[in-house]
Structure 1
Amino acid sequence: MNGFEAVKDGLTLDELSERLQSPFIKVLSKEKGIGFSNGHVWKQQRRIAQAAMRKLGVGKKSVESQIEAEVEQLIEVFSREKGQPFDPALPVTNLVCNVICALSFGHRFSLEDGNFKELIDAIEYIFKVGGTPFHILYELLPSLMDRLPGPHKKALHATEMVVSLAHEEIQRHKEQQSTHEPQDFIDFYLLEMEKEKMKHDPNSTYDEENLAQSIHDFFIGGTETSATTMKWAFILLANRREVQDKIIKEIEDVLGSASICYEDIRRLPFTNAVLHEIQRYRYSMLMGVGRQTTKDLKIRGYIIPKGTLVMPNLRSALLDPKHWKTPDEFNPNHFLDKDGHFVPRDEFLAFGAGTRSCLGKDLARMELFLVVTSLLREFRFQPPPGIQTLDEEPSMGLTLPPKHYKLCALPRYN
């Protein structure tokens, strides 16, 4: 599905709400959790995840304070570089991953923690293998590839590592018996499991396997994409000093020296427009996640048989020349009216649409806003000496991160 109209129409159809169950995905997800399950399992797991996020304060002050604590750590890391060229990729990934740890487990990890380093490596490796010949061969010849060594086996081992870490945290929570005052997703889920046991519902899918897989899906769905967007933000701002200066001026004019909170995004229309344009211009994914038709359907004049794989090309909607004035250029005015007010756009499908839209979109928006605004209060971004502009061509894969780069974060104050 290409172009805004086709993508939007397809994503909002109930007949296209199921994930494809390919051989690799079945082994990866075991048809549990949120990301790749279907039917009753998916509905129950998504429902409890949404309820937990509301209860735990995603989009509200409680989660905002956790993000702010990670941002303070990030500012310290950037400050230690003293304006010299450095690679921001790992510190940014650490921040995003630790926010998910805080939500899921109720605590953050030290950056030196062995489990945390292993978790980061596992998430990165899963994405690295996706879309490679080894992945494709597994989809075509699963029985053979199960017997052969290779990166595909390492990726499946990485998945098992993330799920195993989740099980360890679940066990720790059960021993602490703090579920009646839920502080994190595991607490919330275990409390729901207790309630379901009392109901004796034979159709309940609330169990530890689905809980562990859902946590795995939080990390896989939220870490790489959010970190990729932030890495692009630094490049795009470093290459456009005038955009940086305008954001800094807007923050100073509107907020002065007051602390920044997520609600301020409504008062900072240019900043909001820039953040949306970063996500549009350098969308983090190659395209949307595949779906399959649950019955024969007709869409935009085409008959698509039941069981067909359908790929929504979200990138094509974000670059559709019929809807964006300058689709191939970085242009914050795509989200501003003639008076400089922020204008939300239906065509902005960076988080998908319909019942399968991104579960963590509010968290991702908070992270991006607080990271960019807080850092621009402290630093100016620019390419290293001798480099005019940083490379804006992406690396190819399931996600499209920038190529490895270094930038300078020059302190704005001595």
Structure 2
Amino acid sequence: MLYFPNFKEAPHAMFYNLGLKYGSPYTFWYCCEPTIIMNTREHVKLVNNGEGATNWIGRRHSLLLEGIGQSKGLSLTPYGPFYTQQRKLVHQALRKHLSDELMERQCEGVLDALADELAYKRFKPSSFTFNLLLDVMCGLIYFHRTPTLTSEQRNMVYRCFSTVYNPFQLRCWIDYFPILRSLPFSVQQKIGYLSVKEDWDGFEKNAFTICNELIDEHKRNMEENGGFETDFLDGLITAYEKEVKSGNTLFEEKQLKNLIFSMINASFTPHDQMDALFFHLALLPDVQEKCFQEIQMVIGDARPTLDKKSKMSYLEACTYEAMRIHQPPSLIFKTYVNQRDTKIESYNVPAGSIVQLNSMVNHIPDENFPGSDPHIFRPERFLTAEGNFTNCKDEFWPFGMNRRDCVGKDQAKTCIFLLVTGLLQKYRFTLEPKENVPENIESVKELFNLLESGVMIVPIPRVGV
């Protein structure tokens, strides 16, 4: 059957609806490339757990991504001993250099720096939340002694990551139809391939220029300070140099650069969830006011701190509900390649097959989360009858699961809590133009479409705060 996707429909919803018709698993042909779609909770777990976790470990070949990343960095490395070793080094550096106190100070500093710029300005939610997270992440990891990214660099990073993580942008068609790269110049220009290529060429040049400058500066500072580590990047460089000295030939300069840039990449994935949260809070003023009243009761006008997080059940429930409804495409559609012949129920899957996990199926069905309206924003799903927060660990995968989950998930959740709390303390958020704003969002499709529309978010200062 030839199927033409509806590009206005949320991608995971499209695959879910196809699963209702054809069952799970089923094969979906991306042009010339067959992909097995895992469309039930049981099948998604089958790939991620037990034997599946050591089988479905390869990465799908991508001309554009491999051209930039050379299959290096945590995001692009196939699962195996090298990936595990890298992840361990990054995790150790995060635990050593990203304390709760440092996170609190950095988030407060970013919000203070933006105080004069936010009031009554109109923002596209995606760029608003991405810039916040990017400034925090860069300040935490790289820029203790260096200025933050320039506006031009920030826009370049956002534009290129948007290209990578949109599952239906032109870069996908280039992967599926390599012949596009051989078309006449005038045709390449007309279909937009050249602009995508220029974005990536500039992205690679600028990204690694930034990384080279950071590495050189941090090495000089450590030499001057007798090898003393002051931030995450110092810790990562030290760990990398130890591996090289021990004779580990897999570690090279490009690998270190890609690891560094993987952490900037970490700013991109949670911004989708913050988009959804601010959209819903602006759309539902009663919910937003309830969050504000909880903040006032627990924190008042003081600086948000993590020791108060456990006392703010409703705000935490709102954050998790936003993560349940809206995951970034890179986490919704995890794509792997199996290393050996596999059998899934009655289906024989030869080695080298591509499988794509529609992980949103676990967040949508009614049996996993209470309520007969799984597409409606309802924070009470994460609250007990007594009003206490419950995170439904077994049913909830906002940052992936098991061996391929996000290495910085704890830092991401901490950052989101501190930023959202600090913003709601001082601002009330609305959406404009009001004539384009629905009374409620009754499906994930509507949310995706609204996020891509011209609706803007407007922070209004709270009087007397």
- Same fold per superposition (TM over 0.5): yes
- The answer to whether the 8 A contact 1:19-1:291 is kept is yes
> 1:31: Cα distance to partner?
1.4
After TM superposition, the structure 1 = structure 2 runs for residues 34-53 of structure 1, keeping only pairs within 5 Å, are 34-38=74-78, 39-53=80-94
Aligned to 1:190: 237
Structure-2 change in CA distance of 1:140 and 1:109 (3 Å): same
Distance 1:56 1:207 in 2: 23
Q: CA deviation at 1:67?
A: 2.2
Are 2:346 and 1:311 equivalent residues in the alignment? no
Q: In structure 2, do the counterparts of structure 1 residues 100 and 385 end up closer, same or farther at CA, with 3 Å as the change threshold?
A: closer
1:179/1:190 contact within 8 Å kept: no
- Whole-angstrom CA distance in 2 between matches of 1:85 and 1:43: 43
1:337 aligns with 2:337: no
Are residues 1:381 and 2:429 paired?
A: yes
Residues 1:136 and 1:195: Cα distance change in structure 2 (over 3 Å): closer
Q: Tell me the distance in 2 between the aligned counterparts of 1:132 and 1:294.
A: 27
| Alignment partners' CA distance in 2, 1:198 and 1:120 | 38
How far off is 1:193 after superposition? 3.2
The answer for the alignment partner of 1:93 in structure 2 is 130
1:344–1:256 distance in 2 versus 1, CA, 3 Å: same
Instruction: Give, in angstroms, the shift of residue 268 of structure 1.
Output: 0.9
What one-letter code is carried by the residue in structure 1 that aligns with 2:56?
A: L
Letter in 1 for 2:238: L
Q: Which moved more, 1:179-188 or 1:238-247?
A: 179-188
> Match for residue 96 of structure 2?
55
Which SS does the other structure have where 1:327 is aligned? Answer: coil
1:177-231 deviations in whole A, cap 9, x for unaligned? 35822223331122123323443x2x343332111011222223x2222222222
Q: Identify which of 346, 350, 356 aligns with 2:398.
A: 350
Q: After the TM superposition, which residues 253-332 of structure 1 pair with which residues of structure 2 at under 5 Å, given as runs?
A: 253-285=297-329, 287-324=332-369, 325=371, 326-332=373-379
Confirm whether residue 366 of structure 1 aligns to residue 366 of structure 2.
no
Distance 1:308 1:280 in 2: 29
Distance 1:64 1:90 in 2: 22
1:247 maps to: 291
Residues 141-164 of structure 1: per-residue CA shift (max 9 Å, x gap): 547627865134124312342123
Counterpart selection for 1:207 from 244, 247, 252: 252
Is 2:413 the partner of 1:413? no
Q: Say whether residues 1:154 and 2:195 are aligned partners.
A: no
Per-residue deviation at 1:288? 2.7
- Distance in 2 (CA, whole Å) between partners of 1:108 and 1:239 is 40
Q: Which residue of 1 aligns with 2:209?
A: 164
Out of 215, 219, 224, the position equivalent to 1:174 is 219
Mapped contact 1:261–1:370 kept (Cα < 8 A): yes
User: C-alpha displacement at 1:36, in angstroms?
Assistant: 1.0
Give the aligned residue type for 1:314. Answer: S
Could you tell me how far apart the structure 1 residues matched to 2:321 and 2:226 are? Answer: 41
Local SS of the residue matching 2:329:
coil
User: How far apart, in 2, do the equivalents of 1:159 and 1:401 lie?
Assistant: 28
1:19 and 2:69 matched: no
Cα 1:195–1:264 change in 2 (3 A) is same
TM-score normalised by L of structure 2: 0.78
- 1:342-392 Cα distance to aligned partner (Å, 9 max, x none): 111122111110111012211221121111111111122223475483695
Shift of 1:403: 2.9
Structure that is richer in strand per residue: 2
| Counterpart Cα distance in 1 of 2:72 and 2:298 | 46
- The range that moved more, 311-320 or 380-389, is 380-389
Unaligned runs of 5+ in 1: none
Mean Cα displacement is larger for which, 100-109 or 229-238? 100-109
Distance 2:261 2:217 in 1: 17
Question: Given residue 255 of structure 1, which amino acid in structure 2 is its aligned partner?
Answer: I
Counterpart contact for 1:24–1:142, Cα < 8 Å: no
Two-structure CA RMSD over aligned residues (Å): 2.8
The yes-or-no answer on 1:7 pairing with 2:44 is: yes
The Cα of 1:30 is off from its aligned counterpart by: 0.2
State the one-letter code of the partner of 2:459.
Answer: A
How many Å separate the matches in 2 of 1:168 and 1:16? Answer: 37
- Does the Cα contact within 8 Å between 2:431 and 2:457 map onto a contact in 1? yes
Report deviation, 1:85: 4.6
Equivalences, count: 402
Q: 2:181 aligns with which of 138, 145, 148?
A: 145
Distance 1:85 1:126 in 2: 23
Deviates more, 1:222-231 or 1:400-409: 400-409
Unaligned runs of 5+ in 2: 1-37, 189-193
Q: Supply the AA of the counterpart residue of 1:135.
A: R
Is the 8 Å Cα contact of residues 314 and 350 (structure 1) preserved in structure 2? Answer: no
Secondary structure of the residue aligned to 1:410 is: strand
Distance in 2, matches of 1:404 and 1:109, equals 35
Partner deviation per Cα, 1:228-278 (whole Å, 9 max, x = no partner): 222222211011111112112222223334432123221111111110001
What is the rounded CA distance, in whole Å, between the counterparts of 1:92 and 1:133 in structure 2? 22
Instruction: Tell me if structure 1 keeps the 8 A contact 2:362–2:396.
Output: yes
Task: Give % identity.
Answer: 25
1:118 corresponds to which residue?
153
CA distance in 1, matches of 2:412, 2:334: 18
* Cα distance in 2 between the residues matched to 1:146 and 1:73: 48
CA contact (8 A) 1:94 1:120 kept: no
Q: State the match for 2:32 in structure 1.
A: none
Distance (whole Å) between structure 2 residues aligned to residue 344 and residue 109 of structure 1: 38
| Distance in structure 2 (CA, Å) of the matches to 1:192 and 1:305 | 38
By how many angstroms is 1:122 displaced?
Answer: 3.2
